[in-house]
Amino acid sequence: MHDYDLQPADYDDAHGGASRAEAAAAALRILLGDASTVVDVGGGTGIVSHLLRGPHRNVFLADVSPGMLSQAYRRMSGRTVRASGTALPFRGESMEAVVCVWFLHLLPTEAVRTVIAEAVRVLRVGGRFITTVDKAAAHDDGSDIAELTADLRSPPTDASPDIYDYTRAAGMTPLDSIAFTGHGQGLAPWPYADELSRRRDPTATGIARRLRELPFPNTPRPDPVYRLRSYRKASQ
């Protein structure tokens, strides 16, 4: 996994900045409905989470990275906690919504299932679990970059059919789905090749070499479109 402690101050700008966050938050606000107690798990710098706050909504942020939390602390007026999504420090049935944005795809399958079980534990009956799914597929847009980087996208641990199965097994029912655009996040061959080279992974390095040969090397391909899904905790 990417080391989120290395460059937390650069994270937001490198990942679509305010426009990506605003698009994500607008979609989340629709899915949240009137939920008044929310925890954003894997909330990172809080760039999305702080936009969910409101006079009738308390939002908390949980993350494992001290660097990311240092960025989030002020944005979230201190409502941050260093914790793994697999062991949340909240009482059972204390939240009306649990949100995960760009988070489950980072985890191994067993951890994804544990995060979902934790979400169910902290949610009130009727509460919502909202997560991005199929993150890597958002870049599968038929472009030349998408074709070259197919090997980097498998196997995803946030595939929507799997998340459907895990949430069902944990006692949730599917509720809604909405997409948002990662404005300014379309990949261009040369900058993406530089990013892949820094991973020091032989597959990524090989792909980076081929990316450097593509035409229009600094022209971004289409912006990715990400998908959020929501699930409701059913009564037992």
Ligand X SMILES: C[S@@+](CC[C@H](N)C(=O)[O-])C[C@H]1O[C@@H](n2cnc3c(N)ncnc32)[C@H](O)[C@@H]1O
Give the binding site for ligand X (CB under 6 A).
4, 41-44, 47-48, 62-65, 68, 84-86, 101-103, 106
> Minimum distance between the CB of residue 71 and ligand X, rounded to whole angstroms?
9
> Minimum distance between the CB of residue 146 and ligand X, rounded to whole angstroms?
20
Q: Are 44 and 20 in contact (CB under 8 A)?
A: no
> Minimum distance between the CB of residue 201 and ligand X, rounded to whole angstroms?
18
Residue 152 CB neighbours (<10 A)? 14
> Minimum distance between the CB of residue 209 and ligand X, rounded to whole angstroms?
26
Roughly how many angstroms between the first and final C-alpha of the chain, as a whole number?
36
Tell me how many degrees the CA angle 231-233-236 measures, rounded to the nearest 5: 145
> Minimum distance between the CB of residue 66 and ligand X, rounded to whole angstroms?
9
The closest alpha carbon to 16, from 104, 142, 176, 138, belongs to: 138
The amino acid that residue 172 corresponds to is M
Q: Are 42 and 103 in contact (CB under 8 A)?
A: yes
Helices (H), 53-159: 66-75, 109-122, 144-148
> Minimum distance between the CB of residue 177 and ligand X, rounded to whole angstroms?
18
| C-beta closer to ligand X: residue 182 or 214 | 182
Number of Cα atoms under 13 Å in the Cβ half of residue 208: 15
- Residue 168: strand, helix, or coil: helix
| C-beta closer to ligand X: residue 62 or 120 | 62
| C-beta closer to ligand X: residue 89 or 206 | 89
> Minimum distance between the CB of residue 173 and ligand X, rounded to whole angstroms?
24
| C-beta closer to ligand X: residue 114 or 160 | 114
Residue 17 CB neighbours (<10 A)? 15
Which residue's CB comes closest to ligand X? 44
Q: How far, in Å, CA of 72 to CA of 117, rounded? A: 25
| C-beta closer to ligand X: residue 71 or 167 | 71
Residue 151 CB neighbours (<10 A)? 10
| C-beta closer to ligand X: residue 98 or 170 | 98
| C-beta closer to ligand X: residue 28 or 214 | 28
